[in-house]
Amino acid sequence: MVKAASNLFVFFTLVPYISIYPLNADVQPIFLLCALFLILIALLTRKKIIIDQTDVIFFLIAVISFIYVSMDSEFIFKKRVGLLAAFVVYFTYKNFGEYISIKTVYFSLICLLLGLFLQYASPGFFNTFAEVFMNRLHFEMEAGRGFTSFTPEPTFLAASMSLASFLLKDLSSRQPSYEKKYYVFQLLILLSILATKSFSGIIFFVLTAWNLLGYRKTLLVGLVCIAMLLLVDFSDTRFYQLFIKIVSGDAMFDGSLAHRFSNLYSAWYALTTQPWGYGGGTFSIIGLEANQTLAQPVLDSAASRSVSSFSRLIVEGGFFTVVFFIYMYLLANRSSPVSAKTLSALLLFTTFPVVFPGIWILLLINRSHPYQARTSV
């Protein structure tokens, strides 16, 4: 039962956007239900649970994030529970990762690749089919956007594929796997990330290749990809348009980039005006307030909406959150490769919610056996 639940957990970690009854959110909570079930089973059967210093710090920060109320904040459960849910994901993978089979990762990849192929072959049918299991699907082939498969947007597919690549490499070092199948799937992952035509996806591609090949070979692969792109017309893609705006210095005229800059500025504004944080649920208020101090304010509707989990958590928790992130990425989880930590941080900085499981699982890649040099409870 524990093994089945663990593998179900990792499947919905890689494909977290589908559900038999989709809720009004991009990320569906099935993986979280699996995680809570595993913890409950462990408590009922008195399975050995490992709790170390990092777990304690993570849990305390998550609890503070959940209950912290200031004069400007309001208590909305959905907006407060993010870090607690993230802790559950982190804690579950740390304690039950040994039960995860590499076959589950392959199966998850097959589902995503089939969705991508179906989307290419028959976009209309795919949209009708996928919308039954997803809350939102944003796919417009004629608009120059890339493929999404069973994810809401191209960037989300790129992230799921990157996470699958890291898990495949990690699990293949500890479990028997056919070498040819492993390399074929890793190649398909890299091609799928490129098929998203996403600006963030290109960065994910580089980090994934870095993890697989090392930085020298990744540089060579990058040059080959650039040469191949020069042979095709990709001027209508989102990646090309953003790249041109960045190179020409017009990045702030792009609504998406301006929105992200506004979010990061809101975090800086909050740290300088109230270092201890404004409390949960206050980002919309502080975002609008910070936006008015910009030389070129963005639309109020954009300034009040968080597209960066990092910025939102900094606004709400202040320096406590900053110290927590420094600890998690620099001091704890030292066995995790730099490429995995960098990808995790980018997911946190961009459009992914803090509950997105890949953010926290990436910090546990290449981790030693949980029962070695740990304090048990």
pLDDT single digits (tens) 283-338 = 888 888 887 887 666 665 556 677 788 888 898 888 889 999 999 998 887 888 99
- CA dihedral sign, ordered 40, 25, 259, 151: positive
**Pick from 48-62, 249-263, 272-286, 324-338: least confident:** 249-263
Flag whether 29 is in a domain: yes
User: For residue 338, what are the domain limits?
Assistant: 2-243+323-364
Please calculate the CA angle 6-7-10 and round it to the nearest 5 degrees: 90
3-class DSSP state of 305 = coil
Flag whether 112 is in a domain: yes
Q: How far apart are CA 119 and CA 127, in angstroms?
A: 8
Flag whether 310 is in a domain: no
User: For residue 260, what are the β-bridge partners?
Assistant: none
Task: Report percent pLDDT > 70 for the chain.
Answer: 77
Mean pLDDT of the chain: 82
Flag whether 280 is in a domain: no
33-44 average pLDDT score: 92
Q: In this structure, are residues 200 and 155 in contact, taking their beta carbons and an 8 Å threshold?
A: yes
The pLDDT of residue 376 is above 60: no
The values of phi and psi at residue 213, to 5°, are -115, -20
Q: How far apart are CA 368 and CA 377, in angstroms?
A: 18
Flag whether 38 is in a domain: yes
Task: Report percent pLDDT > 90 for the chain.
Answer: 38
Q: How far apart are CA 115 and CA 192, in angstroms?
A: 11
DSSP states along 196-255: T--HHHHHHHHHHHHHHH-HHHHHHHHHHHHHHHTTS--TTSHHHHHHHHHHHT-GGGSH
Flag whether 312 is in a domain: no
Flag whether 256 is in a domain: no
Domain count, the chain: 1
User: For residue 376, what are the β-bridge partners?
Assistant: 50
| pTM, 2 dp | 0.86
